Amino acid sequence: MSTKNKSQAKRKNLENEIKKYLQLKYRIEMIPGKEEGGFVAIIPDLPGCISQGENEAEALKMIAEAKAAWIKATVESGKEVPVPRDQFSGKLNIRIPKTLHQRLTLESEREGVSLNQEIIAALERGLVRA
């Protein structure tokens, strides 16, 4: 394969990799500007990928452009592009007071359910009241 063909193949591979990452759904955080107005848009999974706009639509357009530029620069530099994280895995690790742990455990035993199920039910009851 000639040097020219190798170069073209490498460029095509880079373009395909960039396209692959551009198709992924990254979470965008929109932050309204307090004093100056407008909106700031951030993609937390792509460190430093940030943009802004006069309104939400413009901020979304600008962050899409920033995302494309961020991914292109990262791929071309040979660095790894992070994939979007699953924001809601269903797992939550917390520390609670021993007395609350005891109350939840005793209630789960009374109800004949697992501690996990009792905590979920208690959280849902609390959300329904809110």
The whole-number pLDDT of residue 1 equals: 64
The whole-number pLDDT of residue 82 equals: 93
State percent of the chain over pLDDT 90: 69
Buried b (16+ CB within 10 A) or exposed e, 8-45: eeeeeeeeebbeebeeeebebeeeeeeeeeebbbbbeb
Please state which of the four CATH numbers 3.30.2010, 3.40.50, 3.30.70, 3.30.160 is assigned to the domain occupying 7-76: 3.30.160
The predicted-structure confidence for 55-105, as pLDDT tens digits, reads as follows 999 999 999 999 999 999 999 999 999 999 876 778 888 899 999 999 999
Tell me the pTM: 0.63
Residue pair 27/84 in contact by the 8 Å Cβ criterion:
yes
**pLDDT over 80 at 35, yes or no:** no
Radius of gyration of the chain (CA): 24
**103 CB burial (10 A radius; 0-12, 13-18, 19+):** middle
Spell out the domain ranges in the chain.
7-76, 98-129
